[in-house]
Amino acid sequence: MKTSRRSFLAGLTALPLAAMPLAARAQSRDPLFASADFRGGLDASQHGVLPDALGADAKAFNRLLREAESRNMPVFLPPGIYRLSDIDLPASVRISGVPNATRLVYSGEGRFMRAVGSKQVALTDIVLDGANRWLAGDQPGLMTFQDVEDLTLDGCHILGAQKFAIWAERCGGRIDRNEITGAGASAIYAVECRDFAIRDNVIRDCGDGGILVHRWQKGHDGTMVTGNRISRILAKSGGTGEFGNGINIFRADGVQIANNHISDCAFTAIRSNAGSNVQISANQCLRSGETAIYSEFGFEGAMIANNLIDGAANGILSVNFNEGGRLAVISGNLIRNLKLTAPYEQDDAWFGIGIEAESDATVIGNVIEGAPRWGMLIGWGPYLRDVNVTGNVIRGAAVGIAATVVDGAGRAAIRQNIFSGIAESAIAGYRWSEKVTDDLSTPGAQAFAHLDIADNNVS
């Protein structure tokens, strides 16, 4: 067979390409690889870190991490099960695996994984299994991060934590796209963090909570909690709402909670305690055991808008003016199918309420259907100040709006609301929990100087 000069030269050109490593050949023919860095990371298997070959002390694993740090290189873990304990993450580390195939399993020596004072920690596409084994007293989470400047957990599956699955203390960074199941306490505890992001995680079957954003002293936090799917959260530690919440904010200001799907929590889907300037918007809250959305105690500023609530003891409560809770907008929410029972009984606790607001609030454009006690509760005893209730639809309630008429109560305007299928009164005056008036929406009804009631539609 004759070989032309052109085909001969083409063959010579192909020889170097055939000799290239596979990754380099891929880079040469695919423009998508042009920006990839094939200088590569450290392959754990080439450094004595092999599946099912590590001791509980994981000395080889920690040596690998220190070498990666010294060379500023990422670590790649091939598929397999790595049984180990006492992983100390260095100042800078990036570890990745194969999704659902690379598994780090805690062998039970007291500590699993910890980083203290690190600059950058990134874990990607790894299964981290606590195997429900004992954790020492100084290890609050299966994965404990303290003072980490830039923490990234992305695409990991974290399961079997006896305590918290993730404990992030004074950290920055993000927790994205992880699946967290079966934590004995809560899935994520972020305390004293700064401008953190907790996004697009799947969290289920946890003993005491889903996502907790807390501070030891009240102040700016700025965490964004968005796009998470949270389900089946218990309250194994009991209480009246300290545990059993899908998302819990405590003393953290400037937090945004949006577009989450939260179902079957023992107590509350979203509970903000002393969190000022909190935004709670466009969340789905299904089958909450107690109040679906709470803004309570010592807060100034809560925007609660466009949420869907189906099934709870109470819908939305913005309360505790006596403790400094004030300043809220509650608008555009859909609340339905409430109940009269909750996980506990208490003399001063009332259930079956759609919305409660007490101070410096506007309640506008909400739809409430199926509130067996009160569609709305406006004020409590003397704790009422400057509340505007306008343009709401309340259907199928025992009493549409219960408004406090206790001496010393402040002003409220109740106008242009629509009431349908109300069993007793569209609007009634209450002294604490006792109904003391007839229907205040009817012509010639008793007037109260602090209540401006007009233009409501009752059918």
pLDDT of residue 260: 99
pLDDT of residue 134: 96
Percent of the chain, pLDDT > 70? 90
Phi, psi values for residue 299, rounded to 5°: -115, 155
> Are 96 and 76 in contact, with CB atoms under 8 Å apart?
yes
CATH classification code of 131-458: 2.160.20
User: Could you identify the residue written with the tokens 């423009």?
Assistant: 31
Cα–Cα dist 187/140, whole Å: 12
Closest by Cα among 212, 186, 184 to 198: 212
Confidence band for 47, pLDDT divided at 50, 70 and 90? confident
pLDDT of residue 6: 40
Q: What is the mean pLDDT of residues 68-73?
A: 95
Percent of the chain, pLDDT > 90? 86
> Are 189 and 165 in contact, with CB atoms under 8 Å apart?
no
H or E element that contains 83: strand 80-84
Confidence band for 51, pLDDT divided at 50, 70 and 90? confident
Confidence band for 54, pLDDT divided at 50, 70 and 90? low
pLDDT tens per residue, range 218-230 = 999 999 999 999 9
pLDDT of residue 121: 98
One-letter amino acid at 260 equals N
Cα–Cα dist 107/139, whole Å: 14
Instruction: Report the residue count for the chain.
Output: 459
pLDDT of residue 55: 59
| Residue of 52 and 321 predicted with greater confidence | 321
Boundaries of CATH 2.160.20 in the chain? 131-458
User: Could you identify the residue written with the tokens 């009631």?
Assistant: 453
Neighbours of 54 (CB within 10 A): 21
Bridge partners of 151? 121, 173
One-letter amino acid at 152 equals T
Closest by Cα among 336, 278, 328, 282 to 306: 282
Q: Looking at the predicted structure, is the pLDDT value of residue 2 above 50?
A: no
pLDDT of residue 57: 56
Instruction: Write the Ramachandran bin of 410: left for phi over 0, alpha for psi from -120 to 50, otherwise beta.
Output: beta
Confidence band for 26, pLDDT divided at 50, 70 and 90? very low
Q: Looking at the predicted structure, is the pLDDT value of residue 178 above 80?
A: yes
Confidence band for 40, pLDDT divided at 50, 70 and 90? low
Q: Looking at the predicted structure, is the pLDDT value of residue 85 above 90?
A: yes
H or E element that contains 257: strand 256-258
Closest by Cα among 54, 156, 91 to 166: 156
Phi, psi values for residue 73, rounded to 5°: -125, 150
pLDDT of residue 45: 80
47-51, 52-56, 88-92, 127-131: segment of lowest average pLDDT: 52-56
> Are 213 and 225 in contact, with CB atoms under 8 Å apart?
yes
DSSP string of 19-43, one letter each residue: HS-HHHHHHHH-GGGGG--TT--EE
Q: What is the mean pLDDT of residues 285-306?
A: 98
DSSP string of 89-141, one letter each residue: --SEEEEE--TTTEEEEE--SB--EEEES-SEEEEES-EEE-TT--B-TT--E
**Helices and strands of the chain, counted as H and E runs:** 3, 44
29-43, 72-86, 90-104, 307-321: segment of lowest average pLDDT: 29-43
Q: Looking at the predicted structure, is the pLDDT value of residue 422 above 70?
A: yes
> Are 105 and 113 in contact, with CB atoms under 8 Å apart?
no
Mean pLDDT of the chain: 91
Q: Looking at the predicted structure, is the pLDDT value of residue 167 above 70?
A: yes
Closest by Cα among 125, 172, 182 to 145: 172
pLDDT of residue 347: 78
pLDDT of residue 34: 33
